[in-house]
Amino acid sequence: MKPVFSDSIERRRLWNSDMIHNERGGVALILVVWIIVVLIAIAGEFSYSMRTEVNIARNFKEEEQTYQLALAGIEKAKFEILSVKAPAITYLNDENILMFGDDEEEAPVRDEKLGNGGFSYIITDEDGKMNINTESLERLKYLLIETGIDVTEVDTIADSIIDWRDPNDLHMLNGAEEDYYRALEEPYSCKDGPFDSLEELLLVRGVTEEFFKGSKSAEEEDDDEEKEYQGLEQYLTVYGSGRININTAPGIVLEAVLGTEAANNIIMQRETAPIARPISNGKVSSEFFTIISTGSTEDGTIKRTIKTVVRKKERDLEIIYWNDNIIG
């Protein structure tokens, strides 16, 4: 028979052993739980990273597809321009769509589905606009006023356009030369040379985004009505010889270049049919065209736009401007 004291010690030893075992088991369980939590977090992060990579890859693929679709639109537009037999008139139909050749023709389809997307394009006539590099001060002032710019700002803008494009550093009465632009908060130089792109106009003293692109956000001082700026970019160009296409020029341009009476006569004739022969020192066919082509996915969520200006030379087209980073 074992002593009672020995039994007590043995029970205590067994109890301590069980406690140590339970404590170790509890710690192990906690470690296992934490390891599982960490593994879940790693798996979740990996899954999120993979989803992100997949989305990036898909977006890149769709971006490239839409770019190629936009290129397809450019090529179709070029084919349309080249397919017209010379000499052919260039004019606007009743829906203000640029047309080539016979006025009996139907408007061409300028959008198309292709694969998992499609493209659409527009063609505009640069020869129906005033050349900002050659137009006189008086004509520029007339255009500025007719597009909605206040008469108090017209002299400054018109004189500054002349100062920007002329080769000297002599000021027009209300113009701006190097000293003005160098004194700005973000200084730059006066061009003192012809405009290479119409967007340069935004650098000229007095020209705002509203004046350039058009806007209805500026309020009249005398009342609550919104003042509308028609936008200079639709009436001016840096291309062409200065002779305008009387079939495609807007009324404002015709009035500025040819005078009100001649402009009214031309507009009346155009309402009947395109003018087939040049009058008033104008022309009826064009050689400079802007093409804007947009490729898009089937659902329209991703789009890519290309803008180019081409010059038609007999049976060939020369690309003189290219921008494939158009936003919007």
Inside any domain, residue 184: yes
Residues spanned by the domain of 225: 130-243
Q: How far is CA 320 from CA 32, 86, 131, 289, 312, in A?
A: 69, 21, 16, 10, 11
pLDDT per residue, tens digit, the chain (328 aa), is: 545 445 565 555 555 555 555 555 566 777 777 888 888 888 777 777 777 776 666 666 878 899 999 999 999 999 999 988 766 899 999 889 999 886 666 788 899 998 889 999 999 999 999 999 999 999 999 999 999 999 999 999 999 999 999 999 999 999 999 999 999 999 999 999 999 999 999 999 999 999 999 986 544 444 555 678 999 999 999 999 889 999 999 999 999 999 999 999 999 999 999 999 998 889 999 999 999 999 999 888 889 999 999 999 878 899 999 998 876 5
CATH number, residue 234: 1.10.40.60
Inside any domain, residue 8: no
CA angle (9 as vertex; 8, 14 as ends), nearest 5: 100
Residue 24: per-residue pLDDT: 57
Inside any domain, residue 174: yes
Inside any domain, residue 150: yes
Tally the domains of the chain: 1
Inside any domain, residue 140: yes
Inside any domain, residue 25: no
Inside any domain, residue 322: no
Inside any domain, residue 68: no
Instruction: In whole angstroms, give the CA distance from residue 244 to residue 82.
Output: 21
